[in-house]
Amino acid sequence: MQPYLYDSPTFRMACQQFDMVAEFMNIPEMARNRLKMPKRALAVSVPIRMDNGSTQVFMGYRVQHHLTLGPTKGGIRFHPEVTIGEVAALAMWMSWKCALVGLPYGGAKGGVTCDPKSLSLSELERLTRRYTQELIPVIGPQVDIPAPDVGTNEQVMAWIMDTYSLQIGHAVPGVVTGKPVLLGGSLGRREATGRGLAYLVSRTMDTLGMQAEGATAVIQGYGNVGSVAAISMAKQGIKIIAVSDAFGGIYNPKGLDLNKLNDHVAVSRSVVGFSEAEPITNEQLLLLPCDILVPAALERQITEGNAAKLNCRILAEGANGPTTPEADAILAQRSDIFVIPDILCNSGGVIVSYFEWVQDLQSFFWSEGEVLDKLFRLLEQAYMQTLNHARKHQISMRFAALSLGIKRVYDAKVVRGLYP
């Protein structure tokens, strides 16, 4: 079966990872395409009236990877480079991620090819509402539940919830997660991915016998994941020495003052130009000597071109798919680098999304303490299972995480059977 529709570097990368793991797990040939190929995909054109009176048409997508374990779940990305192939790869990774941490979901992802930074607030609202309208036949609390991803936030989720609810005729908070708490969002959801990442970094430091106090971290991407991960790691005593965003990076070997940096970002909308640091490019940043390197931006950043030159002890993948299979092959030869793979490392976000959905369905809301306690328990279990699996089979952490996730979906498909 040739996935022409999805063909793209990122989809090829997700397939390559799947094929290697399926081979290792001895999954029968016949079952492989059924597991790998997305179940459904919707492509829509999204016409928007722009502020200047013109009409512009954007392309939007939603891909649902498998429906075997429950509704599908995954974020919505607004970014100029969104393609249906990228969205399909991200949906596949959501499947393995949800299965790894034991959530009753298949994976999904959505996206609109646009530059949200160049849209006014009202253009962004019209884009979100029209895209939601086009998705109505395929989303819903029992069908497919979107959430934030690159370029979207709580406000975008509020518009999605409102547009869907107006169609249905009553408020449906469970159609989307990552909403404002006021509308049925969960306490702790906004911070969940970054906090979860910091928790796993701390557990990895225990495993490796490293001390947090005085350790250094470098973060690529200072959005919702990277900025919260920075604060959470700093609370553990880790020094954040460099961060970057789409506009460039900043570096201060003595450690960045995050309060001052966040004030600067609030005004200038970028880390660039922060007075207490020197400028650095995104490429240089990845190679800085540090204890913890956190790629928390886009996919395919650690490649065969830079993997051999990384200078970190822990690679904590906040982004989805930041490391190519070619780079993985190089990292496998480097016993000096411990990888916390994306589907484990950034799973805190979807875990608390799951909690949000459960709270919405029950209309019964939990304290932040309850949310965090349950989050750390699921992360601990997934971390230990992955570590033990990797050690037992002498495989990488990524291979271990993917094989645990894929196995759960495969087993579920086997017991459900093939209809008719």
Q: Residues in the site for ligand GLU, rule: CB under 6 A? A: 73-75, 147, 149, 177, 320, 346, 349-350, 353
The number of beta carbons lying within 10 Å of the beta carbon of residue 355 is: 24
DSSP labels, 157-187: HHHHHHHHHHHHTS--GGG-SS--GGGTPPT
Q: Is the CB of 109 or the CB of 126 nearer to ligand GLU? A: 109
**Cβ-closest position to ligand GLU:** 75
Q: Is the CB of 106 or the CB of 249 nearer to ligand GLU? A: 106
- Least distance CB 191 / ligand GLU (angstroms): 13
Q: In this structure, which long-range contacts are made by residues 154-161, counting pairs with CB atoms below 8 Å and at least 24 apart in sequence?
A: 154/178, 154/179, 154/180, 154/185, 154/190, 155/180, 156/76, 156/78, 156/124, 156/128, 157/185, 158/183, 159/125, 159/128, 159/129, 159/132, 160/76, 160/128, 160/132
Tokens for 289? 């000597």
C-alpha distance from residue 88 to each of 64, 69, 300, 415, 416 (Å): 8, 18, 15, 25, 24
Which residues, including other chains, have CB under 8 Å from residue 282's CB and lie 6 or more apart?
Answer: 220, 244, 248, 249
Phi/psi at 19 (5° precision): -60, -40
Q: Is the CB of 6 or the CB of 105 nearer to ligand GLU? A: 105
- Least distance CB 349 / ligand GLU (angstroms): 4
> For residue 107, which of 157, 144, 160, 59 has the smallest C-alpha distance?
144
Tokens for 296? 């928390």
Catalytic residue among 109, 374, 392, 413: 109
Compute the CA torsion angle 23, 25, 27, 32 (nearest 10 deg). -60
- Least distance CB 309 / ligand GLU (angstroms): 27
Q: Is the CB of 82 or the CB of 241 nearer to ligand GLU? A: 82
Tokens for 182? 């006021």
Q: Is the CB of 132 or the CB of 252 nearer to ligand GLU? A: 132
Q: Is 42 helix (H, G, I), strand (E, B) or coil?
A: strand
Q: Is 331 helix (H, G, I), strand (E, B) or coil?
A: helix
Q: Is the CB of 147 or the CB of 212 nearer to ligand GLU? A: 147
Q: Is the CB of 192 or the CB of 238 nearer to ligand GLU? A: 192
Does the annotation mark 374 as catalytic? no
Q: Is 220 helix (H, G, I), strand (E, B) or coil?
A: strand
Tokens for 195? 């906090």
- Least distance CB 251 / ligand GLU (angstroms): 28
> For residue 179, which of 160, 163, 157 has the smallest C-alpha distance?
157
- Least distance CB 28 / ligand GLU (angstroms): 29
Q: Is 219 helix (H, G, I), strand (E, B) or coil?
A: strand
Contact 19, 32 (CB under 8 A): yes
- Least distance CB 257 / ligand GLU (angstroms): 29
Q: Is the CB of 123 or the CB of 149 nearer to ligand GLU? A: 149
Residue type, 192: A
Q: Is 293 helix (H, G, I), strand (E, B) or coil?
A: strand
- Least distance CB 342 / ligand GLU (angstroms): 9
- Least distance CB 354 / ligand GLU (angstroms): 8
User: What ranges make up the beta strands (E) of 7-97?
Assistant: 40-49, 55-64, 72-79
**What is the set of active-site residues?**
109
